[in-house]
Amino acid sequence: MYRVRKQIDAAVTEAGNEKLAVAVLDTGVVEHPDLRGRIKGFQDFIEGGRKIYDDSGHGTHVCGIIGGNGALSGGKYRGIAPSVNLVVGKVLDKKGDGTVEAMLDGIDWVLEKKSEWNIRILNISVGIGRLMNEEKEAMLKNKLENAWKKGLLVVCAAGNNGPACDTLSSIGKSKLLITVGCHDGEYFQGSAKRCAAYSSRGDRFDTGKKPDIVAPGTEIISCNGGVSRGLGGYSNAYISKSGTSMATPIISGALALLVQKHPEYDNETAKRKLLYTATDLGEPWYQQGWGMVNVKRLLEG
């Protein structure tokens, strides 16, 4: 995250007094010290329990990218919006698998709690579309677009099915939702593990720009769901992960800062500001969309 913040010009830690929450539908979350006091809601749609947990670690890593405060790293690995609250629904199991029904229930729960916790952003770091039939995918797309129309900025991962063109799911192709691809800029050039090598891409013949925007996603160091505490303090506090799942919460965190500063912005205004301030990487638009997120420019004005 230290590298990422420098790369996308994200030195600011908070941009206003608005206390808002980002909802995350993923594998869950643990009470990591970097997130302490800011996990305002948790619901388990897999086992139905009440205990806050993450048996995969994916969701905790995503939450750290959005809003970890870097407490155990002296701020080095803090997330993009370290004062934001988090509302987490566990819709995926320890293998990262889940049902469409769990995701639909999770979205309904987030909408139900939207006013109570001032949820403005919904982060979906899930490669949707590979394991479900078209009918269920359409149901999920419609549900997410309805959430957008009800005031949630829905940010979803492009997926890791590239680099061929037209590898986005129908959800990623939605004209409403913000679809995030993965690009590391000048980092990891020549590496086969570079996320641009597998980030899903839009249709080269489509006049719309999809994905909408890109963010770094290779070897992102963030909160570890396996953090442990012993006599000598905490260990295994951070872990490195890669993929469009990691790029997506960078955008969610950036939008959280924007809405902190401008709570009056509706979804379309916030989305336009995000896209119009991105840095053009000189790549085809079906790969980069509007370009790399730039937080400093996003918050200007």
Q: Cα(140)–Cα(100) distance, rounded to whole angstroms? A: 7
Locate all alpha helices (DSSP H) within the chain, ordered by sequence.
2-7, 58-67, 100-117, 134-149, 244-261, 267-276, 285-288, 295-299
| Residue of 247, 290, 285 whose CA lies nearest to 271 | 290
What is the set of active-site residues?
Answer: 26, 58, 245
Amino acid at 10: A
Q: Which two tokens stand for residue 146?
A: 């309805």
Cα dihedral: 294, 41, 260, 217 (round 10): 0
Q: How many Å apart are CA 35 and CA 82, to the nearest integer?
A: 8
Distance of alpha carbon 168 from alpha carbon 161, whole angstroms: 8
Q: Which residues contact 180 (CB under 8 A, 6 or more apart)?
A: 155, 156, 157, 158, 211, 212, 213, 214, 215, 244, 247, 248, 250, 251
Please give the Cα distance from 69 to 275 (Å, whole number): 26
* Dist CA 283 CA 178 (whole Å): 19
Secondary structure (DSSP) of 48-114: ---S--BSSSHHHHHHHHHH---GGGTTTT--SSTT-EEEEEE-S-TTS---HHHHHHHHHHHHHHH
